[in-house]
Structure 1
């Protein structure tokens, strides 16, 4: 008998427990079913990954990106989507297809694009894809990535999606992953897990998180600011029950002392630095006693942080009882203007926490490769994560402040108006080419708020020119006003040279051209315009080479080789550089 007939005969022989090769009929049936399911999963996956099979009839917008979906599949796989699509009227319609926003589908907790694509793939195929490394690991090469913040945040996003979409099997899988993080992670990184467990009503995970936080040295102020009231109250009650020796690192504060501290914190919440000064005068509490600068750095507006710094009443390198300086707290927040303001006031970038972490290490452990390597073109906003890491790393390497802050006399002309022209143009070009970095430098120099500095490009026009004649203004007052403006501009350039030297080198090359009228590309005869445009393209090429060289030194592959082309000739023509 041939093999085909033998197999057919064996499969049809229902009374026999085994085939001729020793396999049971149940095994063959299971293998056949498994193969069929695998093929089905693969075929359904084409609907998501292959543009040729794009027959979607709805879309869900995640982080501004529309994702096509098939309502029949989602409704069959999830009761949540079945109920959602059955309503039919609570969505917008785009090109004949209903459109839903992820922020409305999952109101408690964010779900990113990569996490949603993995959840969507699970709905279609029944298989869980590996975690995308660009969003599930950090950019610290020394990290094992087993409990860093990006890994936790990615898993939390999966949990919010699977819990809200009522995908019970996936909830159990992700919950096991989060349970594994709880004991490994820093206590600050347990907070998002705890909040997700609370909102998704995961009692086992919530209980373990509460136990971990209660045993930790996380202060009560952080609990009150970052956790739901019910959870923070439960943690405080649990701490009272614990023996003192079981939690020795939590600072014990007497009620009167704590009351004064809370008043200062509430004043900071109200952005009222004058009230803070008044409270300091009326009590024996100092800014360091209240950890007021730590608090402002973590929770207040950047302008409030600058105002508190300008009081000059706090020790910038003062550590809280957890061993964190103000800069360490700022590194966790990842706000460039705050970090630059702290460093400019004297915060030490090389200072370590009690467990040996520097501010830049903290920042790296919080940053995803997707954000750090984001493709940023000149003239567009740079990613905050990368700016923070670059600023902190540069401070670690910096040997001499005077070398970076020096503005040589041959760069700036001696004449007051000529100096103003040069500096105004320089900062205007910085705003055009490097808007994120320029804004940080201007904020630290108070160039974004001072009354004498109402806007660079606007000041070039007739409505904002500060050198216009005011009949009510005496020459001495005008000179004083222009000197004040000059001081602000110089400080802005100094901040740029110190914290963003690569950008400053690009600007140096950009402004070193010998043809001040070349930017007026539309003026002159056709031959003159042609010459000007050729020179402009040469200048752009020089800027791009400098920019690419600077970025290559930092090994940033995400930058586009055509990035400098984002500034058009007409746009550049709006700013003229005058030189002596």
Structure 2
């Protein structure tokens, strides 16, 4: 990264100053005598820097007396070092800490220390290393680069966010020399970066009152083609008002009449957007009919994809009148906007409705490239334990790439069932219910997305034609209506079967690696689940016991998940659902 050498060499301990041209740490033995011409003071300071670094990095020298929790991970620090280097920490430690009990180390939360902007684990370690040694380490590539191989990593979003984090730490902890350094670096980003990526720089400058940086950000936004809706939604009122005023002043008088938007039309657009903010799609329909406007006229789907709950996006899509490949004033389709938001359920909803992942922006970026340039290697390569939520950034990229590869071709073996099962509706339902339930246990995030896309939660779960409210069931999920006619029952079962088929198809299409793991899991653990009557009486008994155990474990966990989903039905689909523990023996998850 371009900034690595600049930031590493810009600051170092030196005689009578914190600033120097920088030099690497020299590991000098105590018995060595400095050569003629060597500055003894610089040599001593370098040695001191190395010794203090040992306190920070070497576990053998861990004499820390306080902990700061960053992203859930404790970081041991020495209060005397931090207090001597930062007036902020001096005042903090003077107050004491109420979180320590029975003589434990005082504990602090980074989210409390830096309430605005946030500082990640890697950025804090770089900042802490400077406090101890006077030297800045190179930027960690796992958080300061993106996962787009074609990117130069000089102005991608992770590179900007990393420096913004360092700026937040430096400003909060009152390290003026670092504030000046990172302000210069952020100034270099402003003209090169996408205008959307200038917004986090502007917000940091606004919050920490960095006037020079703020004025440069405002100038860039005034000259940009960022629409007024985005400016209103993303920026503080005083900043958005200032940008609009400067834009009006900068327009030549001859062009002012051409650029001016009909105020009545603009008011109608705002009312539609406010209705979307209120999650009121019925009001949106009413406003459209009253004003004789369309969803496309107001860019309502673009707005919903950018700012609304995923369920509202699906409701707008269900109206059926929005052009999925319509471009806004900046040349972005709704899928481009969704890629910037990085919400998997919205991306899948658009793709299943026919949005094209291969369409590019005016600068030649498709949705996959947009997602990749927003994603850090740390997030993309995150190791997720089996049964835990997968990283959303990784899911977005995988879904888009899979759709591009297999746009017009579903897997040839979609929902393939044994010939002996194909003739039996109850056996097919039994198989699919268990398959989906196992998928929910092994890959909760991916399974939930597939079920949402197939609207599987809108159909009642099948638990057997003769099932009644049995022990361990929850609510009326397993309750059978004895007054239900055979015709109504058949319709209900067929509806459920279609939803499950679509769930499995969606899973195979967008998450082929996960589907293979589920296939392997079922093949290994339930090879004879559908042929329980074969073999000797003892073998049949063993098979039926094993199948019953597995089915009961899966169904109990499935009911628990469904209860949790019902409680959080009004929340964003991006919120994490619980991953229940059951008696099922998990296997190692494959990387994909």
Which range, TM-score by smaller chain?
A: 0.7 to 0.9
Counterpart for residue 232 of structure 2: 224
1:159 to 162, 167, 174: 167
Q: 1:140 aligned to 2:148?
A: yes
2:529 to 510, 513, 516: 516
SS in 2 for 1:239: helix
Unaligned runs of 5+ in 2: 1-34, 533-537, 551-578, 587-592
Matched, 1:471 2:479: no
**Which of 478, 502, 511 pairs up with 1:500?**
511
Partner secondary structure for residue 401 of structure 1: coil
Distance 1:433 1:409, change over 3 A: closer
Change (3 A) 1:399 1:479: closer
**Count of aligned positions:** 507
1 CA distance for matches of 2:56 and 2:216?
37
Contact 1:48–1:54 (8 Å) recurs in 2:
yes
1:421 corresponds to which of 425, 430, 437: 430
Residue 417 (structure 1) shift: 1.3
State which of 297, 304, 316 in structure 1 corresponds to 2:305: 297
TM-score, scaled to structure 1 = 0.81
Change (3 A) 1:463 1:518: farther
Distance verdict in 2 for CA 1:261–1:568, change over 3 Å = closer
For residues 146 and 103 of structure 2, what CA distance do their matches in structure 1 show?
39
Q: Give 1:343's aligned residue.
A: 351
Distance 1:417 1:93 in 2: 59
Q: CA–CA distance in 1 between the matches of 2:366 and 2:413?
A: 24
Distance 2:294 2:71 in 1: 43
1:122-521 equivalences in 2 (<5 Å): 122-244=130-252, 252-403=260-411, 406-408=414-416, 410=418, 413-448=422-457, 450=458, 452-453=460-461, 462-463=473-474, 468-512=479-523, 513-516=526-529
TM-fit CA distance, 1:516: 2.2
Structure 1: gaps of 5 or more residues: 1-26, 537-565, 574-580
CA contact (8 A) 1:433 1:567 kept: no
**Preserved CA contact (<8 Å) 1:452 1:485:** yes
The alpha-carbon distance between structure 1 residues 312 and 95, as it changes in their structure 2 partners (threshold 3 A), is farther
SS of residue matched to 2:340 = helix
Tell me the residue number matched to 1:9: none
Structure 1 pair 83/455, CA: closer, same or farther in 2 (3 Å)?
farther
When structure 1 is superposed on structure 2, of 410-419 and 283-292 the one drifting more is 410-419
Judge conservation of contact 1:391–1:500 (CA < 8 Å) in 2: yes
Deviation at 1:408, TM superposition (A): 3.5
- Please provide the CA RMSD for this pair: 3.1
Structure 1 stretches of 4+ with a deviation exceeding 6 A read 27-30, 245-248, 566-569
Which of 72, 96, 119 matches 2:104?
Answer: 96
Q: Call closer, same or farther: CA 1:263–1:459 in 2, change over 3 Å.
A: farther
- Distance of aligned partners of 1:399 and 1:334 in 2 relative to their CA distance in 1, 3 Å threshold: closer
Q: Distance in 2 between matches of 1:82 and 1:464?
A: 57
Shift of 1:252: 4.5
What is the deviation of 1:212?
0.4
